[in-house]
């Protein structure tokens, strides 16, 4: 029985590691700007005119890439930090606060679907609502 | 009604178990009414054949019915694209909410009772004189009643399910500050309930595993009857207490961390969206591990007799082993996710 228990435990550990690997490396793509893993909660998708998609790990990386390639861009999808849902950047609320989302690039811009969530975050982390960083100046 | 492969299979299983359940209920009552401790030799063969048919039908239908519980969640997940506004199973549960809530309560109960009956029957079957047959028939009556209620509700739900209304997102229920999963532990444990729940989750599960190991060890035979009773009572109390602790710890702490969505507490998103691919395994292992503790209790209550003692003890050891494995594996898998995700 002990042998069966150990075999079973080893199998479940292997399954858990497969799950972690899937979450970290397979499901989460790598940032098209700095190559790091893209956390689902901060994912930014830039949809190009040829319908291909570039994924980014933070608003900072997406903005850097956006500035250099804005002629090719169709629209930008950002992720609501509360629900994890993707929405067009035009309808999202952006908050610049003291809370850092990415230690590598010190991104401080947060995305929310609901205005109330944005205000709550701004109050909690001493931030303020900012403009959509993905607007193209005419 | 939404027609897809999940609803068709659900309906088929529900109708089949309803018809066979009615037959089983009738046959069980008939057997109980005509039950005699000693049967004349000339009618023994007919009596054995009737009993064999009843128990075979019961084994098949109860085993199939037990699988209807996970299948129910597959079916709910398949409704998500059909229901306007639904982002996960929670949205689906907003249509016919009373029926869905009832099904979500009756299904684990029926899984537990049916599993318990199958184990009691396996003990009885292993002894040539079938000393537990009468108890098993009474127990089968209870299982039949639950089976019939479960099947009828399944049929009613699947036939009445129409995605005609728009539903709200799970965040409006699970992520609001006054959510029940936060308010109840807050009232019990105070301001730091999340940390307390997390510590309790580990403590109780480890405590359960240790108690189960003690029961499997050779020392168990040398304990006095009183000490055994204390350990068994401790195990039962901890097992029952563990259920709400695990549910609240998952919703409040583990689910947001594992999904990498620190403000999202929806257990349906965790189960069905594939964000954590092994989430159903983690939850399934916990459920079987906890139910196994209850099944051991049922075996101790109903199946310990002079004739069946050794077989029951042997089966209890096996189920204890299963419980240890399931609880430990679930705990280890959660820990690995928490450490490495």
Residue B45 is predicted with a pLDDT of 65
Mean confidence (pLDDT) of chain B: 88
The dihedrals phi and psi of B34, each to the nearest 5 degrees, come to -95, 15
Interface contact B195, partner A, CB < 8 A: no
Average pLDDT for residues A68-82, to the nearest whole number?
88
Name residues 115-134 of chain B within 8 A of A (Cβ). Answer: none
User: Which alpha helices (DSSP H) does B34-179 contain, by range?
Assistant: 41-79, 89-93, 97-126, 133-160, 171-174
Residue A25 is predicted with a pLDDT of 75
Which of B188-197, B257-266, B291-300 shows the lowest mean pLDDT across its residues? B257-266
pLDDT by residue (tens digit) across B56-109?
A: 889 999 999 999 999 999 999 999 888 887 878 998 999 899 999 999 999 999
- Does the structure show a pLDDT above 70 at A82? yes
Q: How confident is the model at residue B219 (pLDDT cuts 50, 70, 90)?
A: confident
- Does the structure show a pLDDT above 60 at A138? no
Higher pLDDT, B195 or B45: B195
Average pLDDT for residues B106-131, to the nearest whole number?
90
pLDDT by residue (tens digit) across B269-313?
A: 888 877 888 999 999 999 999 999 999 999 998 888 888 888 998
User: Which alpha helices (DSSP H) does chain A contain, by range?
Assistant: 2-21, 59-69, 115-124
Residue B40 is predicted with a pLDDT of 64
DSSP helix/strand/coil, B162 = coil
Q: How confident is the model at residue A137 (pLDDT cuts 50, 70, 90)?
A: low
The two structure tokens encoding residue B158: 């699947």
Q: How confident is the model at residue B166 (pLDDT cuts 50, 70, 90)?
A: confident
Q: Quick check: A41 and B275 CB within 8 A?
A: no
- Does the structure show a pLDDT above 80 at B172? no
Distance from CA of B63 to the nearest CA of A (A): 23
Give the highest mean pLDDT range of A81-90, B104-113, B124-133, B168-177.
Answer: B104-113
Residue spans per domain, chain B: 5-160, 171-340
Strand pairing category for A109-112 and A53-56: unpaired
Q: How confident is the model at residue A84 (pLDDT cuts 50, 70, 90)?
A: confident
pLDDT by residue (tens digit) across B322-339?
A: 999 999 999 999 999 999
pLDDT by residue (tens digit) across A104-133?
A: 778 899 999 989 889 999 998 999 999 888
Tokens 């993905």 identify what position?
Answer: A134
Q: How confident is the model at residue B247 (pLDDT cuts 50, 70, 90)?
A: very high
Nearest CA in chain A to B338: A20
ipTM topping 0.90:
no
- For residue A109, give every residue at least 6 positions away whose Cβ sits within 8 Å of its Cβ, in sequence order, or none: A58, A59, A60, A94, A95, A96, A101, A130, A133
**Cβ atoms of residues B216 and B328 within 8 Å:** no
Among A4, A20, A84, select the one facing B340 at the smallest CB separation.
A20
**CA–CA gap between residue B230 and residue B236 (Å, rounded):** 10
Instruction: Give B-chain residues touching A84 at CB under 8 angstroms.
Output: 259, 261, 264
Instruction: Give B-chain residues touching A12 at CB under 8 angstroms.
Output: 281, 285, 329, 332-333
- Does the structure show a pLDDT above 70 at B48? no
**Cβ atoms of residues B264 and B174 within 8 Å:** yes
% of chain B beyond a pLDDT of 70? 96
pLDDT by residue (tens digit) across B25-37?
A: 999 998 888 776 6
% of chain B beyond a pLDDT of 90? 52
CA-to-CA separations, A8 to A22, A124, A127, in angstroms, rounded: 21, 46, 49
Among A16, A39, A82, select the one facing B333 at the smallest CB separation.
A16
The dihedrals phi and psi of A30, each to the nearest 5 degrees, come to -100, 145
Average pLDDT for residues B109-117, to the nearest whole number?
94
Instruction: Give A-chain residues touching B260 at CB under 8 angstroms.
Output: 23, 39-41
- Does the structure show a pLDDT above 70 at B155? yes
Q: How confident is the model at residue A41 (pLDDT cuts 50, 70, 90)?
A: confident
Backbone conformation region of residue A125, classed left if phi is above 0, alpha if psi is from -120 to 50, else beta: alpha
Among A9, A20, A85, select the one facing B325 at the smallest CB separation.
A9
């Amino acid at each position: 029985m002990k042998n069966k228990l150990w075999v079973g435990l080893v199998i479940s550990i292997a399954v858990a590691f497969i799950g972690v690997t899937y979450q970290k490396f397979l499901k989460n793509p790598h940032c098209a700007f700095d190559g790091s893993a893209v956390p689902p909660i901060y994912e930014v998708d830039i949809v190009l005119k040829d319908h291909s998609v570039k994924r980014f790990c933070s608003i900072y990386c997406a903005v850097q890439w956006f500035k250099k390639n804005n002629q090719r861009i169709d629209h930008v999808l950002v992720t609501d930090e509360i629900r994890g849902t993707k929405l067009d950047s035009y309808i999202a609320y952006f908050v610049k606060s003291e809370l850092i989302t990415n230690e590598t690039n010190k991104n401080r811009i947060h995305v929310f679907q609901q205005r109330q969530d944005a205000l709550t975050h701004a109050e909690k982390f001493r931030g303020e609502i900012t403009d959509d960083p993905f607007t193209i100046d005419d | 009604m939404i027609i897809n492969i999940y609803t068709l299979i659900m309906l088929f299983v529900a109708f089949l178990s309803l018809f066979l359940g009615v037959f089983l209920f009738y046959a069980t009552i008939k057997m109980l009414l005509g039950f005699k401790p000693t049967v004349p030799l000339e009618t023994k063969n007919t009596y054995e054949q009737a009993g064999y048919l009843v128990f075979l039908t019961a084994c098949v239908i109860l085993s199939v019915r037990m699988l209807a519980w996970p299948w129910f969640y597959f079916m709910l997940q398949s409704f998500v694209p059909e229901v306007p506004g639904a982002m996960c199973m929670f949205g689906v549960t907003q249509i016919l909410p009373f029926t869905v809530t009832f099904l979500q309560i009756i299904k684990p109960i029926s899984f537990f009772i049916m599993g318990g009956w199958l184990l009691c029957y396996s003990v009885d079957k292993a002894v040539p004189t079938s000393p537990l047959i009468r108890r098993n028939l009474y127990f089968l009556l209870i299982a039949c009643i639950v089976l019939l209620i479960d099947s009828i509700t399944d049929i009613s739900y699947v036939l009445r399910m129409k995605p005609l209304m728009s539903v709200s997102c799970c965040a409006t229920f699970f992520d609001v500050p006054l959510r029940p999963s936060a308010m109840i532990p807050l009232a019990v444990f105070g301001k730091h309930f999340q940390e307390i729940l997390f510590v309790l989750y580990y403590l109780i599960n480890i405590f359960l595993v240790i108690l189960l190991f003690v029961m499997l060890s050779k020392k168990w035979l040398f304990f006095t009857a009183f000490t055994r009773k204390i350990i068994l009572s401790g195990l039962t109390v901890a097992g029952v207490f563990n259920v709400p602790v695990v549910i609240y710890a998952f919703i409040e702490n583990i689910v947001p961390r594992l999904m990498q969505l620190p403000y999202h507490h929806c257990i349906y998103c965790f189960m069905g969206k594939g964000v954590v691919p092994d989430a159903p395994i983690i939850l399934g292992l916990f459920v079987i591990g906890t139910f196994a503790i209850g099944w051991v209790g049922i075996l101790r209550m109903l199946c310990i007799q002079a004739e069946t003692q050794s077989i029951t003890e042997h089966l209890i050891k096996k189920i204890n082993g299963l419980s240890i494995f399931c609880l430990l594996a679930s705990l280890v898998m959660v820990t690995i996710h928490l450490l490495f995700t």
